[in-house]
């Protein structure tokens, strides 16, 4: 049926000894072509679904100066992350010490353990994670930090502007040789 | 007694029909695939565990490239036309009717308002993110994106839902992103989405446990 006639090797020369030249079949084996077709189909199906971009929702609070509209949070439940240069993350619990002694250093990869530890040791209603990005940090760090909130199922978190003191501290710590 | 000889049948099947089907499907998929518009503005997005698909209709996309340039693109032609009118009336862009026609065709905008007119003359195949200066946002006092957003919000009116999307590059510095967000906030746009690459949820985390229990099906709430 569908196959190439390969039997016509030698002896096709016309001569008095040959009675009838065998007619070569015109049928070609289409199996490889079908293989190729389906391979391409699979490729297209995969690339179409892959290109669907996903998105991360972010709701911002309205800026307010009225103290009664601002959220109160317990000092014991506060966990502040400062995003620095090169994936560096600094964090402190509660309020920042004037001497910055409770400021600890970590990286984006290791911060998850700290967030989990804080989450386990704090009543759920008290926990609040505050993310402050320094001027040296990049967009990726911010998305990673917000992603970390999602991964660890943190209900309350906020993106807050960094203070000058914290900015300086992050700058000093970033430039300190490791 | 001679038995009639049963002809031995060939085991090979005619592949022609199958080949037809394969290529029919192939051409169907090629034709229905929507190619991404030739990436004039190149942005490498970060990844997140969010599995929510980004909206595709009535989108206002704010792209921030790695060198900190900000671009705006819209997909709805009617909104684009209205946006051109709004820029004329509120920001004094000075677009003539022929400019507005070009404005409607443009796939993205990335110039200060004073230069829109000249940028529209660039043919679309030569228009790339690198050749445009981007919408100025660096200076907090003259954040032109605020003016753009104002016009965009008004162009949408009350009838069209606005899907605000930010597509930022991995290495964009945070202050630029903050200025973009400030421009949103000033126009009362508090909800937006950030384009990310999908990423799998790390094992053993709280979100992973939720998935296992089947409490949530997507990372989006």
Domain chopping of chain B, boundaries = 47-198
Beta-carbon contacts of A68 under 8 Å, excluding residues fewer than 6 positions away, are none
Assigned token pair, B51: 């599995």
Closest CA to A49 of B125, B143, B32: B32
pLDDT tens-digit readout, B103-141: 777 777 777 777 777 777 777 666 676 777 777 777 766
CA-based nearest distance B84→chain A, Å: 28
CATH for A119: 3.30.420
CB-based contacts of A96, cutoff 8 Å, min separation 6: A80, A102, A103, A165, A166
Of B22, B193, B202, the CB nearest to A57: B193
Distances (CA, A) of A8 to A24, A150, B106: 7, 70, 62
For chain A, what is the mean pLDDT?
Answer: 76
> What is the three-class DSSP state of B192?
strand
Rounded percentage of chain B residues whose pLDDT exceeds 70: 87
8 Å CB contact between B84 and B95 = yes
A90 found inside a domain? yes
Question: Which domain covers residue A90, as residue numbers?
Answer: 74-175
Domain-embedded: residue A27:
no
Cα separation, A112 vs A134, whole angstroms: 19
What is the pLDDT at residue A143? Answer: 85
- Higher per-residue pLDDT: B134 or B221: B134
Residue A167 confidence (pLDDT): 79
* pLDDT given for residue A11 in this prediction: 46
pLDDT tens track for B89-112: 777 767 777 777 777 777 777 777
For residues A98-127, give the mean pLDDT: 79
Handedness of CA B143, B145, B146, B151 (dihedral sign): positive
Mutation target among A3, A48, A54 for the B interface, most CBs of B within 10 A: A54
State whether A1 and B12 contact (CB < 8 Å).
yes
Whether the model clears a pTM of 0.80, i.e. scores above it, the answer is no
Mean pLDDT, range B21-34, rounded to an integer: 84
Q: Using CA atoms, how far apart are residues B35 and A60, in angstroms rounded to an integer?
A: 33
Q: How many domains does chain A have?
A: 1
Indicate if the pLDDT at residue A148 is higher than 60.
yes
- CA B143 – CA B146 distance, rounded (Å): 6
Are B110 and B118 in contact, with CB atoms under 8 Å apart? Answer: no
Task: Give B179's pLDDT tier (boundaries 50, 70, 90).
Answer: confident
Distance (Å, whole) CA A36 – CA A40: 6
| Smallest CA–CA distance from A44 into chain B, residue | B29
Q: How many CB pairs under 8 A join A and B?
A: 173
ipTM exceeds 0.85: no
Residue A4 touches partner B, C-beta closer than 8 Å: no
């Amino acid at each position: 049926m569908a196959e190439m006639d390969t039997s016509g090797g030698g002896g096709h020369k016309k001569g008095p000894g040959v009675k009838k030249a065998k007619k070569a079949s015109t049928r070609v084996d289409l199996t490889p072509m079908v293989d190729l077709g389906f391979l391409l189909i699979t490729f297209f199906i995969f690339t179409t679904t892959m290109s669907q971009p996903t998105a991360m929702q972010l709701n911002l609070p309205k800026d307010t100066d009225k103290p009664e509209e601002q959220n109160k949070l317990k000092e014991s439940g506060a966990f502040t992350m400062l995003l620095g240069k090169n994936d560096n993350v600094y964090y402190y619990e509660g309020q920042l010490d004037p001497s910055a002694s409770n400021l600890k250093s970590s990286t984006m990869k290791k911060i998850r353990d700290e967030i989990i530890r804080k989450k386990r040791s704090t009543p759920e209603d008290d926990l609040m994670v505050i993310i402050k990005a320094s001027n040296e940090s990049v967009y990726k760090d911010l998305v990673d930090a917000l992603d970390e909130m999602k991964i660890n199922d943190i209900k309350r978190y906020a993106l807050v502007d960094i203070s000058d003191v914290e900015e300086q501290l992050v700058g000093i710590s970033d430039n300190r040789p490791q | 007694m001679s038995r009639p000889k049963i002809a031995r049948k060939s085991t090979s099947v005619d592949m022609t029909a199958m080949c037809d089907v394969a290529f029919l499907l192939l051409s169907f998929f090629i034709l229905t695939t929507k190619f991404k518009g030739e990436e004039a503005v190149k942005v490498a997005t970060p990844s997140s565990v969010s599995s929510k698909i980004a909206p595709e209709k009535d989108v206002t996309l704010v792209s921030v490239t790695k060198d900190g340039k900000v671009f705006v693109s819209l997909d709805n032609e009617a909104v684009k036309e209205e946006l051109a009118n709004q820029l004329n009336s509120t920001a004094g862009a000075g677009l003539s009717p022929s400019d507005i026609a070009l404005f409607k065709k443009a796939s993205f905008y990335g110039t200060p308002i004073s230069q829109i007119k000249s940028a529209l003359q660039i043919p679309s195949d030569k228009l790339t993110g690198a050749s445009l200066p981007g919408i100025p946002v660096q200076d907090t006092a003259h954040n032109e994106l605020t003016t753009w957003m104002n016009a965009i919000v008004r162009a949408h009116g009350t009838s069209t839902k606005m899907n605000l999307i930010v597509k930022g590059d991995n290495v964009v510095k945070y202050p630029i992103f903050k200025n973009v967000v400030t421009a949103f906030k000033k126009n009362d746009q508090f909800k937006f989405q950030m384009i990310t690459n999908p990423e799998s949820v790390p094992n053993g985390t709280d979100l992973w446990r939720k998935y296992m229990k089947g409490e949530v099906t997507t990372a989006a709430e």
